[in-house]
Amino acid sequence: MIYREAGDFSTTYPQDSQTFPIKFDRYRYYVVLAFAFLVVPFLINDYWANAILLPFLIYAIAAIGLNILTGYCGQVSLGTGGFMAVGAYACYKLMTAFPDVSMFIHVILAGFITAAVGVVFGLPSLRIKGFYLAVATLAAQFFLVWLFNRVSWFYNYSASGQINAPERDTFGILITGPNATAWATYLFCLIFCTASAIIARNLTRGTLGRSWMAIRDMDIAAEIIGVNPLKAKLTAFAVSSFFVGISGALFFAIYLGAVEVGEVFGITKSFLVLFMVIIGGLGSVFGSFAGAAFLVLLPVALKVVGADMLGWPTDIVAHFQLVIVGALIIFFLIVEPHGLAQLWRLAKEKLRLWPFPH
């Protein structure tokens, strides 16, 4: 009897079309937001920020981005790592070229630059479909990583080939660099993450999102009923890359601080984000969060159990992690192809009827 809509009347159209139509759900959402913005910053320390919260928020943004492309528009992409690298390097170039500008602007601009690159690599999707496209996005992945490795202009001709985030602030608060405080970096990422989720949620239930879903479900049929595939696919690539670019910029500037492109933004990163989307749930914003949380927490939990409690060497724990992630993906695909988001939906449905079974 928790998620019950009885007594919850919509008297205006905006009320009827709000994101969380059930009152309980809406209040839960406000409580979570308030907790994240008002309570967590006072409790946070460096370990929590760096081990769990920052990667979670940043991966959630990337997962939302990929979910738009793969989950909503049906275009499988294996180039997420490459696009994250674009965001990171764009942010780096902007940070070093305009040191006085606020980090907010840099990260958002990095998102727009990645969106432009994403559109270019999205062009083949108009001709190529399905698996062929998935493999074609690998071209983006390998080419972009190679580019950032070889062209020294991108890393400002530094001898190591690495990029290092200089100290930058926003509104006078230090955000990047080793001296940034945990609460500042956390809030910075949280703002981007919340904004991304709200934008994505509202895009996907509007005209644009419906045209994406039409293309996903059957592109020829969609074309016949008047959805422009060029517009739908390219906007999906642009919006998706925008979010992925932002997450790449945050990943580099806020979370890691120093990046070697082949190591950080390699093909494994593409797969990691893809797994988040699959495990979380294709075509669901909540699923992106659930998937990101799951795959960020899993290694931490495994490390605690395997290395700290059982005393296994770390390499064995790392191998176990591969086995478990692989098995979980297969498990989810067999048992619940719609991922954690679907489990959440089912749980809500059960709660709505509770204590009655039907």
Contact set with other proteins (CB under 8 A): 76, 124, 127-132, 134-136, 138-139, 142-143, 145-146, 149-151, 218, 220-221, 224, 267, 271, 274-275, 278, 310-313, 315-316, 319-330, 333-334, 337
Helices and strands per DSSP (H, E), number in the chain: 17, 4
Query: Which residue's CB is nearer to other proteins, number 176 or number 288?
Result: 288
Say which residue the tokens 């797969």 belong to: 271
Task: Name the packing angle between helices 314-335 and 285-302 (round to 10°).
Answer: 150
Q: How far apart are CA 244 and CA 58, in angstroms?
A: 9
Q: How far is the CB of 330 from other proteins (least distance, A)?
A: 4
Query: Which residue's CB is nearer to other proteins, number 183 or number 312?
Result: 312
Q: How far apart are CA 339 and CA 342, in angstroms?
A: 6
Q: How far is the CB of 13 from other proteins (least distance, A)?
A: 34
Query: Which residue's CB is nearer to other proteins, number 194 or number 321?
Result: 321
Query: Which residue's CB is nearer to other proteins, number 108 or number 144?
Result: 144
Indicate the helix (H) or strand (E) that contains 258: strand 258-259
Query: Which residue's CB is nearer to other proteins, number 20 or number 331?
Result: 331
Q: Are 325 and 315 in contact (CB under 8 A)?
A: no
DSSP state string for 171-203: TTEE-SSTT--HHHHHHHHHHHHHHHHHHHHHH
Query: Which residue's CB is nearer to other proteins, number 70 or number 170?
Result: 70
3-state secondary structure of 72: helix
Q: Is 183 exposed, middle or buried (0-12, 13-18, 19+ CB in 10 A)?
A: middle
Q: Are 80 and 247 in contact (CB under 8 A)?
A: no
Say which residue the tokens 């009923």 belong to: 225
Q: How far is the CB of 128 from other proteins (least distance, A)?
A: 5
Query: Which residue's CB is nearer to other proteins, number 121 or number 186?
Result: 121
Q: How far is the CB of 114 from other proteins (least distance, A)?
A: 18
Q: How far is the CB of 358 from other proteins (least distance, A)?
A: 28
Which residues are CB-neighbours of 27 under 8 A, at least 6 positions away?
A: none
Q: How far is the CB of 295 from other proteins (least distance, A)?
A: 12
Query: Which residue's CB is nearer to other proteins, number 195 or number 327?
Result: 327
Query: Which residue's CB is nearer to other proteins, number 71 or number 245?
Result: 71
- Both structure tokens of 74: 């049906």
Say which residue the tokens 């996907």 belong to: 204
Q: How far is the CB of 273 from other proteins (least distance, A)?
A: 12
Which residues are CB-neighbours of 329 under 8 A, at least 6 positions away?
A: 275, 278, 279
Q: How far is the CB of 291 from other proteins (least distance, A)?
A: 13
Nearest to 191 by CA among 280, 257, 108, 115: 108
Q: How many residues does the chain have?
A: 358
Q: How far is the CB of 196 from other proteins (least distance, A)?
A: 24
